[in-house]
Amino acid sequence: MPRSLLLLDVDNTLYPPSRGVVERVDTLINRYLIERVGIDAAQVDDIRRRLWSDYGTTLHGLMHRRGIDPHDYLRFVHAIELGELLAPDPPLGAMLGRIPLLKVAVTNGSAAHARGVLDCLGVRPLFFRVYGLERLAFVPKPYVQAYQMVLADMHALGRDCILVEDRAVNLRAARQLGMRTVYIADGGPPVPGADLSIGSVLELERALGALA
């Protein structure tokens, strides 16, 4: 395999969306907007769509538009019991363990949330480093600066990396930096801009051979 770093998104990438983690986080994001920011419940969905469109994530938009404390936001929206939704995944651990690349988690959530997911899945020892938003100065994917901070901290070049991600919009900047990209389609169609599309992270080991 030609690349030395395997950058993996966490939520809905290392486990299927059917586990319901993101849905619970989304519910808490809506509560945060209503209870902490003071937005009318009827406007929450529209405001979140506009923040995503303009800023990439709800948090990034709220920081720019409302000046909220990102630490408070992340504590609030990640206050879920991951153990109710996720369990150790031996096939995932075995597959990741066989891939001879340094594994790094890169998430738009908090580092604590990402570590909790990795712990619940039983794969945290396989990861060299976890990049949550705190370590990326709260600059999220899809911004190129987020990936540049990871590369600088890892003393790596884009061509050294393969990114595995479930959101197509997050692939574009990675490719601009020379990364190869693998899209987790979860039953959806392949997307333009992905070097490979696979249905599940469990297909990753086999798929990486096509990038050689």
Same domain, 40 and 99: no
Same domain, 91 and 133: yes
Same domain, 10 and 25: no
Same domain, 38 and 137: no
Same domain, 101 and 203: yes
**Average pLDDT in the 104-124 region?**
99
The total number of structural domains in the chain stands at 2
Pick the last residue of a domain from 36, 59, 77: 77
Same domain, 26 and 89: no
Q: Show the domain range for 55.
A: 21-77
Taking the C-alpha atoms of residue 84 and residue 116, their distance in angstroms, rounded to an integer, is 12
Same domain, 89 and 187: yes
CB 111 within 8 A of CB 135: yes
Same domain, 72 and 126: no
pLDDT at 3: 58
pLDDT beyond 70 at 82:
yes
CATH of the domain at 56: 1.10.150.450
Same domain, 183 and 144: yes
Taking the C-alpha atoms of residue 15 and residue 32, their distance in angstroms, rounded to an integer, is 25
Same domain, 72 and 134: no
Written as one letter, the residue type at 171 is L
Nearest Cα residue to 93 out of 13, 14, 210, 198 = 14
Is this prediction's pTM over 0.75? yes
Q: At what angle do helices 58-66 and 44-55 cross, to 10 degrees?
A: 90
Pick the last residue of a domain from 33, 56, 77: 77
Pick the last residue of a domain from 34, 58, 77: 77
Taking the C-alpha atoms of residue 171 and residue 138, their distance in angstroms, rounded to an integer, is 18
Backbone torsions φ then ψ of 78, nearest 5 degrees: -105, 15
pLDDT at 191: 87
CATH of the domain at 137: 3.40.50.1000
pLDDT at 1: 42
Same domain, 39 and 134: no
pLDDT at 2: 42
Note the pLDDT tens digit of each residue in 1-60: 445 999 999 999 999 999 999 999 999 999 999 999 999 999 999 999 999 999 999 999
